[in-house]
Structure 1
């Protein structure tokens, strides 16, 4: 292990690889701050540039773009209620209320700190447990994925601090919106209403921007003439440094988020978006004061950010060691390797040790660079809150339009995000929470797909979800959670009857 790390350090600390890492994280961070563009578009645009680079430098730069965008996406989520990437949508729920309380700088610092620790955890896991984690990934079939995601959907019911019925209704609406488009098994168009642009389904980025960004603009339209998001105070060290004991209180959330993110990062199709939502659900479940969530709980920022960042690192494990990309970004990474005649797989660590271990050490170098770049800029980011409404909200609308249009170069997507923003505003006015809807949208299609695949493989035998060990454990946990919620509701009803009597 020490020899491998020494080889990786010698590779990563070479001048040209340090330069590639810096370029990658700088561009990735800037792209992460811009709403809606994300690492996929950035890597797509820069992939041709890597043709003339050596394979290690190319991969180091592309990896820097990936986790740099993951690192920077929380900034606009916290300050402007506008998720930079889909995996940061849940950060809006508590990050933006913190900004309204004048604690935007503290929330950004905590997001950066949690993100860095999540990355460190993912790197250590990748160093010591890559072979074992690869074996674990082989244990997950369609039945296991279905049971895991069903458990995640049930946890989504706890994301709402208001009426549980409204939370459940939001989940079902998210599920319905998630199945819009072409059915992957039969090729039949569903809920497209003969609109060709809906054949590929609704965009998660458009949904997140509509339900957070556009909704916020509409909600504050009456203040366009004057006023700012918060008072224009001078940014001092105390406004950036977290409050007394907040770092200590958040360490549990950061640790749990890192574990959740690392576990989901190695599973194809899960990734940072699912990890951040699951982390938020867990933090609200284990908190002694769950009513704070949605109103400015620091754990609602630190947990999801740690999960998202650790998932971004461990997503490289199946890509590099199995040649199985977990998402579209990892598929581009796979393509970049193949362009340079490198075939990812179990033998990559043996055939290309300098590249594998150099990339791993570059993760640490790149994230230290990100911390150095971002901490001095927190004051500048927070200054965005002192810009008048009449200037900031048109700029937000412009960035949303550019970010959504850049995804498919289609004006139809801009119309979709505007329509979803109106729906999001009506939902907020009626007291429906957006977080369960987003999680239902993310998990719904994967739940359906894996359910159908499991039944096809078992020839329609429903017992497959209980007879397979891992899926049986997940289904058992889901049933226990349902029983717990039902018992708690019955006890609450009895208490109300007793008080009324």
Structure 2
């Protein structure tokens, strides 16, 4: 079958009424979660993950994707209206989005953020279709040594992309690997680090880790702000027609088209994330502009570029997650864990053995972008009222959702203690500025990482040279080493440039 035939098969899955309903609901919930300051797509997916246990795998994963790019659409709402980014990737939207609101152009700012997100997402979805099958075919020749090398690359790249925090990234990764080995050894049956707690024999469920780190950890972090900001900033409640003028469209079109490939390719890089994509596209437009002094004072192109890059990055991050099993972001790592939870192996076999899932996800990118555009344009004026929910109501509600979600997994009270433990760990990591994405990725792929390593040694009867027999595994291991040294090389080059 050709790529187009596979894509049509994906659309048949997505356009089923039940899947259309969940895409619409996921896009709506993602938009609302993205809007709320302090929360992000990873937190949203983590909180809503228990709801997907009753769904078919394709429906659950399509819903998670909808939440992901719904949050990318919604993240700029609080940036534009309150100067408070919904998540890290919406930071650049504050630079010109909030000045536009102060200049009386809130309607245009809300409109261009949705339009730029839609165009960026649509172009990236086309790029996804073009690259998905070639990547999947390459990965078909992977055996245990190649998978081990691939996971080494994923872990090191995610840890090293934590800019200026390589050691902290590696520490986060190490904690994640330690979490993944709790329970019975899959080959010998020996109990490891269970401390005689029967409920830990099966290991620590990654959903508990994710909800604790992202959900409860965010609540603990934001509780500090409630005392500092006793009242939420007033927001504009009445809007005119949410649209842009021809002049504003002319100013925005080229920045959107330039920012989209930047966002998409940064999204593919493990651990890079939407924040880097948005800031890089913003800086690019400022450098290319004939009037750079307008930036920071309400330049519409200064909002359009990071919004397009932001959404393109989210789709770019999904590509290596499903085709190679390397998540491009913390949110993608959560989705990778969900895939494994459903008994599915990310990679080429996903597209070959389960085309309804692999290509259903691809087709959902197109449908989801249209749904999110519809939600974020006509309903923008209504949606932003969610920002007026007092934190003293919002965060207890999120805490309750965390505990209900965790209990629904195993019906075990032990998970409550684990949830609180990981919530405190997530809070401590944020306070100490330790990145959480390496921990999440390591806790998700840790068992597969160990299994590939041991299978390789069993095949070679204990000969470590097996990891250097294949050209693919050698190339991946070299890339892993280079990824570790990249931050140091980059910092040295910056120092050299500044000294000159």
Shorter-chain TM band: 0.5 to 0.7
**Structure 1 portions without partners, runs of 5+:** 48-57, 81-90, 261-274, 291-295, 317-325, 335-343
Deviation at 1:284, TM superposition (A): 10
Give the alignment's TM-score, normalised by structure 2: 0.65
8 Å Cα contact 1:35/1:400 also seen in 2:
no
Map of 2:222 onto structure 1: 220
TM-score, structure 1 normalization: 0.65
Q: Confirm or deny that 1:45 pairs with 2:54.
A: yes
Q: Deviations over 1:240-278 (max 9, x none)?
A: x999576345312333257x4xxxxxxxxxxxxxx8646
Aligned residue among 122, 125, 129 for 1:119:
125
The answer for the alignment partner of 2:37 in structure 1 is: none
1:34-92 CA-to-partner distances (Å, cap 9, x unmatched) read 653556743x4245xxxxxxxxxx97x67754643454465788889xxxxxxxxxx95
State whether structure 2 residue 235 is matched by structure 1 residue 232: yes
**In 2: Cα distance, 1:170 partner to 1:356 partner:** 30
Partner of 1:264: none
Aligned to 1:94: 89
Which string of whole-angstrom CA distances, capped at 9 and with x for unpartnered residues, describes residues 111-145 of structure 1?
6655444433334556xx4xx66543321111111
Match of 2:197 among 182, 195, 210: 195
Counterpart position of 2:140? 138
Alpha-carbon shift at residue 172 of structure 1 (Å) = 1.7
3-state secondary structure, aligned to 1:463: helix
Displacement, 1:392? 1.6
Point out the more displaced range, 141-150 or 427-436.
Answer: 427-436
Please name the residue that 1:398 is paired with: 400
Question: Cα deviation per residue 1:147-167 (whole Å; 9 max; x = unaligned)?
Answer: 122122222233334443333
Query: Which of 30, 46, 49 lines up with 1:36 in the alignment?
Result: 46
Structure 1 residue 224, shift from structure 2 partner = 3.6
Q: Is the 8 A contact 2:151 2:449 kept in 1?
A: yes
Aligned partners of 1:209 and 1:436: how far apart in 2?
15
Number of matched pairs: 427
Residue 249 of structure 2 corresponds to residue 251 of structure 1: no
Aligned to 1:471: 473
1:432 pairs, out of 431, 434, 440, with 434
Residues 396 and 461 (structure 1), Cα distance of their counterparts in 2 relative to 1, 3 Å cut: same
Secondary structure of 1:200's aligned partner: coil
Whole-angstrom distance in 2 between the partners of 1:487 and 1:162: 11
Residues 94 and 189 of structure 1: CA distance in aligned 2, closer, same or farther (over 3 Å): farther
* Mapping 1:102-501, distance limit 5 Å: 114-125=120-131, 129=133, 135-224=137-226, 227=230, 230-234=233-237, 237=242, 247-248=256-257, 250-256=259-265, 260=268, 277=271, 301-302=310-311, 304-310=313-319, 329=339, 364-365=366-367, 367-482=369-484, 484=486
Q: Which runs of 5+ in 2 are unaligned?
A: 34-43, 79-85, 99-108, 285-302, 326-335, 345-349
- Find the aligned partners of 2:435 and 2:20 in 1 and give their Cα distance: 39
Partner of 1:271: none
Separation in 1 of the partners of 2:275 and 2:93? 19
Deviates more, 1:143-152 or 1:161-170: 161-170
How far apart in 1 are the matches of 2:443 and 2:414?
A: 20
Going from structure 1 to structure 2, the CA distance change for 1:35 and 1:377 (only over 3 Å counts) comes to farther
Conserved 8 A contact 1:93-1:435: no
Following superposition, the deviation at residue 179 of structure 1 comes to 2.2
Partner Cα separation in structure 2 for residue 356 and residue 157 of structure 1: 27
Q: Is the 8 A contact 2:210 2:440 kept in 1?
A: yes
**Structure-1 separation of matches of 2:497 and 2:7:** 65
Q: Write the distance in 1 (CA, Å) between the matches of 2:361 and 2:170.
A: 43
Matched-pair contact (CA < 8 Å) for 1:79–1:382: yes
**CA RMSD, aligned part only?**
5.3
- In 2, Cα distance between equivalents of 1:71 and 1:491: 35
Q: CA deviation at 1:471?
A: 0.8
CA distance in 2, matches of 1:372, 1:468: 49
Deviations 1:440-487 (A, max 9, x none): 333433322212221111222212222201111111222334455566
CA contact (8 A) 2:27 2:66 kept: yes
- After TM superposition, the structure 1 stretch with the greater mean CA deviation from structure 2, 143-152 or 244-253, is 244-253
Distance in 2 between residues matched to 1:196 and 1:188, nearest whole Å: 13
Q: Is the 8 A contact 2:181 2:447 kept in 1?
A: yes
Q: Distance in 2 between matches of 1:148 and 1:473?
A: 10
**Could you report, residue by residue, the CA deviation over 1:182-207 in whole angstroms, capped at 9, with x for unpaired residues?**
33222323222222222333343333
**Cα deviation per residue 1:90-120 (whole Å; 9 max; x = unaligned)?**
x954347968997796878766655444433
